[in-house]
Copies of this chain bind each other. A is one copy, B any other.
Amino acid sequence: MTGLVAQLTSRISFCAAHRLYREDFSEEYNRELYGPCTTDHGHNYVIEATVSGRIDPETGMVLNLVQLERFLHEEIFEHVDHRHLNRDVPFLKGVIPTAENLAVIFWQRLVGRLVPFKGARMHCLRVQEMPGSEVCYFGEA
């Protein structure tokens, strides 16, 4: 089993408040764009990071899953859990906290942590707001 490639996925959850609203848009246009999401509400977000890489024939692992979970905690959970995403998170300043934007920004925060792992790279960052809806970002094409 030399040089085989696999994907690893680690999943965490955090609780946060948010709203979708742009101050430079009218009340009506905000309503039209974001529907019921213009007012303060919240979610148990589920975040899933998938890393692609070669299985090290010596250890039988791409990357230790405990390590990947630690990156998710340090780069995401510690900054957003029990926060209001529009106000309390420095790296989200000025960003409309849609699931799409969160996916892109969380991806960017994680990607640097994988640099030391030769042959491993971010494949997908998934953001689930509710059991019935989610967004997946695969990096810049």
Which residues of A approach B to under 8 Å, CB–CB?
1, 4-13, 15-18, 20, 33-37, 39-44, 50, 55, 59-62, 64-66, 68-69, 81-84, 87-88, 95-101, 103-104, 129-138, 140-141
Contact = CB atoms under 8 A, between A and B. Distances in A.
Given A59-B96, A100-B55, A101-B60, A132 B11 contact: yes
Contact of A81 (B36, B55, B60): B36
Given A7-B135, A7-B138, 12 more contacts: A1-B104, A5-B141, A6-B137, A8-B136, A10-B132, A16-B41, A17-B18, A33-B59, A33-B64, A59-B96, A60-B98, A60-B101
A6 B100 contact: yes
Nearest to A36: B82
A138 to B, nearest CB: 7
A41 B42 contact: yes
Given A17-B17, A98-B61, A103 B35 contact: no
